[in-house]
Amino acid sequence: MFVLAMRSIRHRPGRFLATLLSAFLGAAIVMTFNSMHDTAAQDGVDPVSSETLGTAAGVVGGYGTLLVFFAVASTLTVNVRQRAAELELLRCSGATPAQIKRMVVGEAVAVALAGAALAVGPAVLGGRALLGMFQDSGQVARSVDHSFGPVALISGVDITLLAAAGAAFLAVRRVTRKSRQRSGARRLLAWAALGTGAVGACSTFALSATDEVLMAPPAYGAILLSVGFALMAPRLLSGVLSGLPLSGASGWLAVRNLRERAGHLAGILMSLIMFTAVSTATLTMQAVENDAVAASGLVKSVDAKNLETLNLTVVGIIAVFVCVMLVNSLYAATTYRSREFGQQRLAGATPGQVLGVVGAEGLILTVTGVLFGTVAALAGVVPFTVVRTDGVLPDQFFGVWVAMASIAAAATLGTSLATARQVLRTPAVGAVTLAA
């Protein structure tokens, strides 16, 4: 089966591109930050520098692991789902479920290995840049040299491989079993995330305005709430759809498509919710914090600076990563719909109407994602602002929110419409017979 796996990668490199990209990005982030551990472990590094590096690596490394798993899992799930026909064919030709599982997991591991290997170079450069950033802000001594050692390499490769193998295993099991008994566990997880998130956000009130860790509970609260919402994405989408009075053939089709494909769109909605929540919450809170420090006339301590750098780096990385994932999975999902678009055209839809359907779907997805992302972000921002300042909703919130919502909308609509346009170049008759 492994030979078959290798062969299918060699002959269809295109369809593994999405997985490769997410594995590459994930491995690069994990390695970049974990190389701070290597750097800190060198001889002659002073304790302050060492602590800064250790915190950065610990916090972002942890996030990174989660993100890699999430990203690789979502691309692999799409990938495996799109190959359902091929896997069915293999099953008909006498492959046992275990063999199919081995093949898919084997492919995923091979692709992840390639992604991790490619990521080493960028991670070395990224690590140097990160260290330089810490040195410029005076958090790490100038004398410290960057080191890319065993911790970075092993953790990067291991995490990526583990995430790929695990995600492939789960994805293929879901396809070959054709049952959905996991929704119970998912719902439990969603409620757990929402509950902990709410507790985290509320616990902000227990802290005083000058506590250094003040930003942590609301930030984690917002992130957890967004994870909870993300896990419930299909149900939230159905809820929004039932209240939509859309007229016109395109809107009509869009609503019906989304309703039936709600489960498949969870990944995209997840990215949207998490992007909006994490970026809006963190950037707003940092802005509030900066203004509060400036107002009090104090100079920031190294720790405070540390936190700011970390916050901005974390949010930057998460935002870019999630954005790439969003584009990645939307592209994969839209390309896959070539046959469906062909069927719509044969039923009498003009290319403009097909694009209208895609646009309406993108719009509904964006609005839903941004809506719940905003709720999660507010759950973090409001408690923080109440405790840190006298206000409830900071002035900075609106600007940040508009910027983040626009990026989310541009990424979603831009990717799906551009991809659909490209897909529509295939004549309708060719498109419906292509995959059959």
Partner 1 sequence: MTMFRTRARGDHDTGPAPEALRLVKVSRTYGTADSAVTALDGVTLGLGRGTFTAVMGPSGSGKSTLLQCAAGLDRPDSGIVYVDGTELTGGTEAELTKFRRGRVGFVFQQYNLLETLTVAQNTVLPLKLAGRRVDKRRAREILTAVGLGDRLGHFPGELSGGQRQRVAIARALVTEPRVIFADEPTGALDTRSARQVMRLLQEAVRVHGRTVVMVTHDPVAASYAESVLFLADGRLAGRLDAPTPDAVAERLAHLGDDVTAGV
Of 236-255, binders to partner 1 (CB under 8 A) are 249, 252-253
**Least distance to partner 1 from the beta carbon of 95, Å?**
23
Of 318-347, binders to partner 1 (CB under 8 A) are 340, 342-347
Alpha-carbon distance 132 to 146, whole Å? 9
Tell which one of 351, 375, 421, 426 touches partner 1 (CB under 8 A): 351
**Least distance to partner 1 from the beta carbon of 412, Å?**
19
Tell which one of 259, 298, 391, 403 touches partner 1 (CB under 8 A): 259
**Least distance to partner 1 from the beta carbon of 359, Å?**
16
Q: Which is nearer to partner 1, 353 or 389 (CB)?
A: 353
Q: Which is nearer to partner 1, 208 or 242 (CB)?
A: 242
**Least distance to partner 1 from the beta carbon of 12, Å?**
23
| Rg, the chain, Cα only | 23
3-state DSSP call for residue 304?
Answer: helix
Burial label for 58, CB within 10 Å (0-12, 13-18, 19+), is middle
Q: Which is nearer to partner 1, 32 or 338 (CB)?
A: 338
**Does residue number 428 form part of the binding site for partner 1 (CB under 8 A)?**
yes
**Least distance to partner 1 from the beta carbon of 82, Å?**
14
3-state DSSP call for residue 103?
Answer: helix
Q: Which is nearer to partner 1, 230 or 357 (CB)?
A: 357
Tell which one of 97, 316, 399, 427 touches partner 1 (CB under 8 A): 427
Residue type, 174: R
**Does residue number 352 form part of the binding site for partner 1 (CB under 8 A)?**
yes
**Least distance to partner 1 from the beta carbon of 415, Å?**
21
Of 261-300, binders to partner 1 (CB under 8 A) are 261
Q: Which is nearer to partner 1, 166 or 234 (CB)?
A: 234
**Least distance to partner 1 from the beta carbon of 253, Å?**
8
3-state secondary structure the chain: CHHHHHHHHHHCHHHHHHHHHHHHHHHHHHHHHHHHHHHHCCCCCCHHHHHHHHHHHHHHHHHHHHHHHHHHHHHHHHHHHHCHHHHHHHHHCCCCHHHHHHHHHHHHHHHHHHHHHHHHHHHHHHHHHHHHHHHHCCCCCCCCCCCCCHHHHHHHHHHHHHHHHHHHHHHHHHHHHCCCCCHHHHHHHHHHHHHHHHHHHHHHHHCCCCCHHHHHHHHHHHHHHHHHHHHCHHHHHHHHHHCCCCCCHHHHHHHHHHHHCCCCCHHHHHHHHHHHHHHHHHHHHHHHHHHHHHHHCCCCCHHHHHHHHHHHHHHHHHHHHHHHHHHHHHHHHHHCCHHHHHHHHHCCCCHHHHHHHHHHHHHHHHHHHHHHHHHHHHHHHHHHHHHHCCCCCCHHHHHHHHHHHHHHHHHHHHHHHHHHHHHCCCCHHHHHHHCC
Q: Which is nearer to partner 1, 29 or 424 (CB)?
A: 424
**Least distance to partner 1 from the beta carbon of 262, Å?**
10
Q: Which is nearer to partner 1, 131 or 333 (CB)?
A: 333
Q: Which is nearer to partner 1, 294 or 429 (CB)?
A: 429
**Least distance to partner 1 from the beta carbon of 343, Å?**
5
**Least distance to partner 1 from the beta carbon of 428, Å?**
7
Stretch that binds partner 1, among 89-97, 163-171, 237-245, 428-436 (CB under 8 A): 428-436
Tell which one of 349, 376, 404, 423 touches partner 1 (CB under 8 A): 349
**Does residue number 432 form part of the binding site for partner 1 (CB under 8 A)?**
yes
Tell which one of 121, 348, 360, 363 touches partner 1 (CB under 8 A): 348
Residues constituting the chain: 436
Residue ranges in contact with partner 1 by CB under 8 A: 249, 252-253, 256-257, 259-261, 340, 342-353, 427-429, 432-433, 436
